[in-house]
Amino acid sequence: MADTENTDPAGEKPAAVPSQAPAPKPPAKTPAAVAAAKVEKAPPPPPGPPDQAAPADVSVPDYIQALQAALPGAVTQVSYWVGDWTVIVATPRLLDVAHDLRDAAGAKFDYCSDVTAVDWPTRAGERFDVVYCLYSTSLRHRLRVKTRVADGDSVTSVSGVWAAANWLEREVWDMFGIRFAGHPDLRRILMPDEWQGHPQRKDYPLEGPGELILESPQEWLKLRQSFNEAEIE
Amino acid sequence: MEPDVARPMFDTDELVINMGPQHPATHGVLRVVLKLDGEKVVDADVVIGYLHRGVEKLSENRDWTQIVLLTDRLDYVASAAANLAYVETVEKLLSLEVPRRARYIRTILAELQRLASHLVWLGSHAMDIGAVTVFLYCLRERELILDLFEEYCGARLTYNSMRIGGLPQDLPPNWDKKVLQFCDIQLEKLVEYETLLTHNRIWLERTKGIGVISAADAIAVGLCGPPLRGSGVVRDVRKDEPYAAYAEMEFDVPVGTNGDTYDRYLVRLEEIRQSVRIIRQALGGLPEGPVMGKVPRLIKPPAGETYHANESPKGEIGYFIASDGKSTSPYRLRVRPPSFCNLQALPQLVRGHLVADVIALIGTIDIVLGEVDR
């Protein structure tokens, strides 16, 4: 890996040594040790997003005020940053909020642009942010809805509200391991079905697991083949 | 055509067949598991991920400037569009002012890219349906665009043509004249494609009434770009949320009426005309000045999150980026891939049609698997 070579100070020394004599290599580091060394060097990530409050001279749009009036207590926080409005919603109320945002006269968020998640492993309590990017094709405004969820907990699926969320939620499940309750077809989408782990989590190594394939290829093959046969039947 | 799947003539079993991932008409490594009743499609399951390279995960371990290279490899027939969307998102996070000349040149590059992408789409779509000549014609004009890009940035496919805060370099001398020349050629040749296809009886029978999706369904299932406009929804990020220099350009957003494959074809052909119109305006009013804004040497956006969308040739390409304000790479980068969201509608489109129409429908939604799988 180019990265580890560049950051490894021992990697630059062999250039001065005559090319015939191979320089003594430092003891091989395990990927975990390299990762740990990197983490020590880099400043620790913050435990969560800043979710800046709106400045005093920016007024909260009507559709957020209407949402707060229609569903008191559902919106726990309103945030504004570089022109984007975000509402942070209590997870149990998510479906109500989604229905209200889609159907309310002043909101009409009929288009779900994107569903994604952000992993904040050091945050106390809820580890993940699930982010919904909404757009209204008739009123032409945008809103982001965010909800926080702990590892192992599930979020209510909004694929019944916006059909577009179907695959997007599948991807969030695949990449983060967040379950969506009530999703019609919650399978992995980008990774193979027998994949272990969820790659976009911060504690998932960049170079992949690699262990099962390298250590016991037979077992890995067996796992794969058993899966393929089940699929054909 | 009304889908009629319910009444088989004979008592037959449903047949499950695999289309792809190695199939010439799936535009890459797309696998579609079709459930057939005779030759009619009862249901389809789309299997993707064969080209997954973990671009989003890689981005969390690369510098902000290095990620432009990764975006090249998403939609590899329209990499300038992905470049533009990414750098604009970072500029939004940094609250950077981009010089007006740079915004104009970006608009020109994005529109040339749209032409190139639409030409690849038209050529391959027509070839899937059986009109091989169109493919040769389209690639002939696309070659001219690739030459223009090569002259500008040295690359023909993965351009790396944008920088955070501006552009890597100004236009080469006489480049604008060549672009104007190309615009004339393109409009002239567009008539040739239309002569071959628009009133061609085979083309009409293969595309009219195939894969009809209503405006409401198209919005609900998250279609974007030309497939959404083909259903009559006036939605174009260039108009609705103007970026680059689109606010200063005059152009129309073509929409279809029936939401079938033929209308999506007409929409894209008209978009080629509109793109030429935008390029001519932008070149005509190209302001003088620098092409690079004042960018800090070390790019480190303040902590915060944003989502920014652009209109790529395939549809709405968006980036959701979370910055932690401390490290030199994004904390989280999410690509909203238009091809992925459009592909989601495929099962809905193919139900009730023939197997041969599946080929036409994969073509009409214009997917690039590099972007679907990331």
Chain A: residue nearest B370 by CA?
A190
pLDDT recorded at residue A223: 64
What was the pLDDT predicted at A226? 63
Inspect the interface and report whether the beta carbons of A162 and B373 lie closer than 8 Å.
no
Give the residue among B122, B119, B120 at the shortest CA–CA distance from B203. Answer: B122
Query: Of residues A18 and B267, which shows the higher confidence score?
Result: B267
DSSP per residue, A132-181:
EEEE-TTT--EEEEEEEE-TT-EEE--TTT-TTHHHHHHHHHHHH--EEE
Q: CB distance from B120 to chain A under 8 Å?
A: no
A145: pLDDT confidence band, cut at 50, 70 and 90? very high
Q: Give the gap in angstroms from C-alpha B223 to the nearest C-alpha of chain A.
A: 8
Contact between chains at B305 and A86 (C-beta distance less than 8 A): yes
Looking at every residue in chain A, the average pLDDT score rounds to: 77
Contact B95 A82 (CB under 8 A): yes
Mean pLDDT of chain B: 88
Q: Tell me the chain A residues in contact with residue B327 when contact means C-beta distances shorter than 8 Å.
A: 42-43, 45
Token digits for B259? Answer: 């939401």
pLDDT grade, residue A10 (50/70/90)?
very low
Contact yes or no for A164/B220 (Cβ under 8 A): yes
User: Beta-carbon neighbour count of residue B52 at 10 Å?
Assistant: 18
Give the pLDDT score at A13.
41
Residue B11 confidence (pLDDT) above 80: no
Q: Which DSSP helix (H) or strand (E) runs through A31?
A: helix A31-41
Q: How many Cβ pairs closer than 8 A exist between chain A and B?
A: 111
**Is B222 close to A113, i.e. CB distance below 8 A?**
yes
pLDDT recorded at residue A42: 56
The pLDDT tens digits for A64-117 are 888 888 888 888 888 888 888 999 998 888 998 999 888 888 888 999 999 999
Give contacts of B 197-236 with A, CB under 8 A.
219-222, 233, 235
pLDDT at B274 over 90: yes
**Residue B35 forms contact with A (CB below 8 Å):** no
Task: Please determine, for residue B362, whether its predicted confidence score (pLDDT) is greater than 70.
Answer: yes
CA–CA distance, B320 with B288 (Å, rounded to integer): 32
Contact B92 A82 (CB under 8 A): yes
Average pLDDT for A169-187? 90
Average pLDDT over residues A25-39: 50
Query: In chain B, what residues touch A206 (CB-CB under 8 Å)?
Result: 57-58, 61
Which is nearest to B362 in space by CA: B11, B29, B12?
Answer: B29
pLDDT of residue A74: 83
- The pLDDT, as a whole number, for residue A4 is 42
A198 pLDDT exceeds 50? yes
Hey, is the C-beta of B240 within 8 angstroms of any chain A C-beta? yes
Chain A contacts of B56, Cβ < 8 Å? Answer: 175, 200
Q: How confident is the model at residue B272 (pLDDT cuts 50, 70, 90)?
A: very high
Q: How confident is the model at residue A22 (pLDDT cuts 50, 70, 90)?
A: very low
Q: Does B344 sit within 8 Å of A164, measured CB to CB?
A: yes
Residue of B nearest to A35 (CA): B61
Question: Quick check: pTM over 0.90?
Answer: no
Considering all CA atoms of chain A, what is the largest pairwise distance in Å, rounded to the nearest integer? Answer: 77
Mean of pLDDT values over B264-280: 92
| Chain A contact for B239 (CB, 8 A cutoff) | no
List the single residue in B with minimal CA-CA distance to A199: B57
Across the range A164-187, mean pLDDT stands at 90
What number of CA atoms fall less than 13 Å from residue A183's CA on the CB side?
A: 22
Listed range (A56-60, B149-153, B165-169, B283-287) with the worst mean pLDDT: A56-60
Using the Cα atoms of residue B290, residue B294, residue B295 and residue B300 in order, give the sign of their dihedral: negative
Contacting residues for A24 by C-beta, under 8 A, at least 6 apart? none
B331 touches chain A (CB under 8 A): yes
Which tokens sit at B278? Answer: 């935008």
* Buried/exposed B278-301: b ≥16 CB within 10 Å, e otherwise: bbbbbbeebeeeebbbebeeebeb
What is the reported pLDDT for B370? 87
Cβ within 8 Å, pair A131-B309: no
What is the mean predicted confidence (pLDDT) over B250-270? 91
* pLDDT for residue A225: 62
pLDDT bin (cut points 50, 70, 90) of residue B8 is low
Instruction: Work out the percent of chain B whose per-residue pLDDT is above 70.
Output: 97
Reply yes or no on whether the pLDDT at A41 is more than 70: no
In B, which residues are within 8 Å of A190 by CB distance? 48-49, 52, 373-374
**Percent over 90 (pLDDT), chain B:** 41
Check B240 against A119: CB less than 8 A apart: no
Chain A's closest residue to B217, CA to CA, is: A163
Alpha-carbon gap: A17 to the closest alpha carbon of chain B (Å): 31
Q: How many residues are recorded in chain A?
A: 233
Largest CA distance in chain B: 73
Task: Compute the residue count for chain B.
Answer: 374
Cα–Cα distance between B138 and B192 in angstroms, integer?
A: 10
pLDDT of residue A208: 67
Kindly list the strands in the beta sheet with B315-323, ordered across the sheet, starting from the edge strand earlier in the chain.
Answer: B304-312, B315-323, B332-336
Mean pLDDT calculated for residue range B85-94: 91
Residue A230 has what pLDDT?
56
Nearest by CB to B309, which of A43, A113, A167?
A113
Average pLDDT over residues A20-44: 51
B18 near A CB under 8 A: no
- Minimum distance, in Å, between the CA of residue A120 and any CA atom of chain B: 9
Please list every residue in chain B whose beta carbon sits closer than 8 Å to the beta carbon of residue A164: 220-222, 341, 344
Nearest-angstrom CA–CA distance, A97 and A90: 9
Contact B320 A133 (CB under 8 A): yes
pLDDT digits (tens, 9 = 90+) for B25-65: 777 788 889 888 888 898 899 999 888 888 998 898 888 98
Asked whether the predicted pLDDT for residue B117 surpasses 90, the reply is: yes
Q: What is the mean pLDDT of residues B309-322?
A: 92
Is B298 part of the contact surface with chain A (CB cutoff 8 Å)?
no
| A111 vs B contacts (CB less than 8 Å) | 219, 222, 235
Chain-chain contact of B220 with A42 (C-beta, under 8 angstroms): no
What is the pLDDT, as a whole number, of residue B38?
80
B219 band by pLDDT with thresholds 50, 70 and 90: very high
Backbone angles phi, psi at B304, to 5 degrees: 160, 170
CB-CB under 8 Å, B305 with A166: no
Q: Say which residue the tokens 């103007």 belong to.
A: B242
pLDDT of residue B2: 59
pLDDT at A76: 86
Q: Which two tokens stand for residue B164?
A: 């955070």
Whether B300 has a pLDDT exceeding 60, the answer reads yes
Res. A131: pLDDT tops 90: yes
